[in-house]
Amino acid sequence: MSYMDDSIYHAIQQTRIPGVVEDVISTAWNQWSNWVRIVNIRPDLTHYRPFKGGRVTLKACAIQKDTGELLREIHLFLQIYPDRRDAVARLEKEASRHHVPPPLYIPELQAVLWTTPNIPRLRKLKNLLKHENFRHLLLPDAEDDPDRFCQQPPKLLRLVPRKRAILTWDDPRHHAHYFVKLFNKTDVIQAAHNFQQIMQVSRQEKFDFLVPEIIQCNLSCRTILMSRLPGKNFTEEMIKTVPSSFERVGRVIGQLHKSRARPQKTQNMEREFASIRHHMGEIKRALPQVATRLDAMIMILADTLDNLARLPRRPIHGNLFGDQILYGPDSIGIVDWDAFCHGDPIFDIGRLIAHFIFLAGTENLEPVQVKRCIKAFLQAYQDETDEPVNQEWLNWHVAAQLLMRGKISALRKLPSGWTRQLGFVVQEAETLVRGQSRYLDPPSLVANK
C-alpha cells in the first residue's frame, strides 16, 4: 500500500483539476442556493495525512445567477474522509448548529464542504469578519464612526482549519497596517502570554530585531490584534545564498537566546522526538519504500538522544524557519511566537538550517554556497552568544528537523515533485547522521549507537 492506493490522495488531486472541482462543488451548492452561483473555484492550502484525512482550503467567487454580478470572494474548507460513513456522520453532527449555508456533502470526493466563517473550532471568525463586531471586540476605544470603519473591514488572509485564522486590517484613522490572529480555544491563552512576554522583553533589551506590538488582546474572542512588520520572508533571501544575510540573522537569533525573557512553557525533547517519530509514520505510509531507511535513522537519533548531555535551556522561538523571519535592508522582524518557550537553543538553529538545506535540494542551490552561508550564520551566532555551538547536537537537530521539513513542506502540502523532495530529505538526513553532508561538516552520530 502506498499513496497511490489512498482515496484521500486522489480526492486532493481532483481538487486541483479546475473543471472537476468546480463541477462537483457547484452541483452540491445548487442544492442550497437558487440565486447565487460559485465560480472560479481554486485550491489554496492543502493538508494531507495518508489514509487518515485531507483538508483543502479553496477560494471562489460568488456571483448572482441571473445577472452574473460578482457579489464577493468566498473561502471554502473541504474536509476529505477515508470512509463515506465518516463524512455523513460529520454532516449529521453539524446539522444541529444551523449554519447558513449548511455544510454540504460532496460524494465524489467523500468530503464535507464548509463556507467560511462556518468552520469547525474557529466559530469566532464569524464575529471578526463583520466590521461592527470587529470594531467592538478589538477597538473598544475607537471613535464612534461606523461608516468609516465599514469602509475598511478585516480581510481573511490565511486559514488553517481547526487551528487558526490570520486576517489583515488597515486602520482608516492612521493608515497603519495590522494582522489579526484568531486561535482555537486550546491555544489562545498560551499564545497571548507568549506575544506579550516577547514584546515586553524586546522593549527592555532593545533587540536588533522587531517583534509584533500587541494592540489589543480579546481572550473571549480568542483574538490578538498586532502590528504588521516590514520586510519579506527570509525564505526568499535564503535562496540567494548571500552569507552577509545569514550573518545578520545569526546575530539576532543569538540576542534572543541570551535574553532575559521568561516564557512560561518548557520544551520537552523526548516529546519533540516522539512527535517526529509519529510523523515519520505518515511518510512511511505514503512511501513504504523508504520505511527501512527511516527506521534506521530514527533508531540512530533515539540512541543519540539518550547519550548526549542536555544543554542549558534558553528562551527560544520554538518554531523557527525562513517564513517566520521578515528580512529587509533596514530591519529584521521575527513573528509567530505561539511556540515561544525555554528549550535547547540549538533547536532553533537546527530548524532554520534544516529549512535552508531543504531549499537547497528543492531549488538546486550550489552546496558550496550553502555551506558558506551556514558557516557565516553559525559564526555570527557564536560571536553574539560568546558560546560555541555543540556540533553533535547541531547535527542531531538538523537531521531530525530536515525529516520534519519533508513531512511539513512536501508530504503535507503535496507540491509538484513532492516525492522527489522526500527522496532528497531521506538521503540528506542519512548523510547527516553519518557525518558526510555536503552542506555541513558535522560529526557522525552513528558512533554513538
Distance CA 161, CA 119 (A): 7
Which single residue is written with the C-alpha cell 488582546? 217
Per-position b or e across 33-44, b if 16+ CB within 10 A of its CB: eeebbbeebebe
Q: How far is CA 303 from CA 151, 291, 404, in A?
A: 59, 18, 18
Distance CA 122, CA 229 (A): 25
Distance CA 422, CA 150 (A): 47
Model pLDDT, residue 449: 44
Average pLDDT (382-405) is 96
Q: How confident is the model at residue 38 (pLDDT cuts 50, 70, 90)?
A: confident
- Written out in words, the top-level CATH class of the domain with range 232-448 is alpha beta
Q: Which of 114, 426, 167, 108 is nearest to 295 (CA)?
A: 426
The predicted model scores a pTM of 0.93
> Going by DSSP bridges, is the β-strand pair 176-183/223-227 parallel, antiparallel, or unpaired?
antiparallel
Sequence-distant contacts of 201-206: CB under 8 A, at least 24 apart: 201/259, 201/260, 201/261, 201/315, 204/260, 205/255, 205/259, 205/260
Where are the chain's structural domains? 3-115, 125-227, 232-448
Q: Is the pLDDT of residue 447 over 80?
A: no
Mean pLDDT of all residues belonging to the chain: 91
Residue 58 backbone dihedrals phi, psi, to 5 degrees: -130, 155
> Going by DSSP bridges, is the β-strand pair 214-218/223-227 parallel, antiparallel, or unpaired?
antiparallel
Sequence-distant contacts of 136-139: CB under 8 A, at least 24 apart: 137/218, 137/221, 137/223, 138/180, 138/215, 138/216, 138/218, 138/221, 138/223, 138/225, 139/216, 139/225
| Domains 125-227 and 232-448 belong to one CATH topology | no
Q: How confident is the model at residue 144 (pLDDT cuts 50, 70, 90)?
A: low
CB 223 within 8 Å of CB 139: no
**According to the per-residue pLDDT averaged within each range, which of 34-43, 101-110, 161-170, 249-258 is highest?**
249-258
Third-level CATH fold of 125-227: Phosphorylase Kinase; domain 1 (3.30.200)
Q: Provide DSSP, 93-146.
A: HHGGG--SSPPEEEGGGTEEEEETT--TT-TTHHHHTSHHHHHHHH-TTS-S-H
Model pLDDT, residue 149: 59
Q: How confident is the model at residue 320 (pLDDT cuts 50, 70, 90)?
A: very high
